[in-house]
Amino acid sequence: MRVNYQDLAKTVAALTEGETDEVALMATLACELHHSDDRFDWTGFYRVTEPEVLKIGPYQGGHGCLVIPFARGVCGAAARTDTVQLVEDVEAFPGHIACSSSTRSEIVLPVRNGVGAVIGVLDIDSDQPGAFTQEDADCLAALLESVFGRL
């Protein structure tokens, strides 16, 4: 099953209408995303909790790393550079942090609030190599903007 981003956006908008709590929004989005696509084996958020530090937030799937410094891994790169990280092969990514040995590809997007500050990252892992596309990146970025851009 592949995600229908248009339907997902409508569902997320209905579920999150009026909500302003970051953690509640992250939990809802992680759940909806995780169950929308067979490629998504781990779906969750890492939150900026102090300068240059990400800590595990709401997620679906197996355990995640608890703390990720901005200086390490795909999640750290997304937070540090404020850019989407679309990784076809995690083994080829310098400094990749293996929270799960089954992960083969990954997409990580910065999560920004209404003033443009990075408040965390959305991390989606797949056990399939090359699982994510630029379409995924674009649609997920638009979804994150619609949910967190109003905060």
| Residues 101-150: tens digit of each pLDDT | 889 999 999 999 999 999 999 999 999 999 999 999 999 999 999 999 99
What's residue 98's pLDDT? 75
Let me know if domain 5-148 sits in CATH 3.40.50.10490.
no
Buried-exposed string 113-130: b where 16+ CB fall within 10 A, e elsewhere: eeeeebbbbbbbbbeeee
Pairwise CA distance, residues 81 & 84, whole Å: 9
| Residue 27 burial by Cβ neighbours in a 10 Å radius (0-12, 13-18, 19+) | middle
Tokens of 32: 């909806």
Question: Any idea where the domains of the chain sit in the sequence?
Answer: 5-148
Read off the pTM: 0.97
Confidence of residue 99 (pLDDT cuts 50, 70, 90): confident
pLDDT digits (tens, 9 = 90+) for 49-87: 999 999 999 999 999 899 999 999 999 999 999 999 999
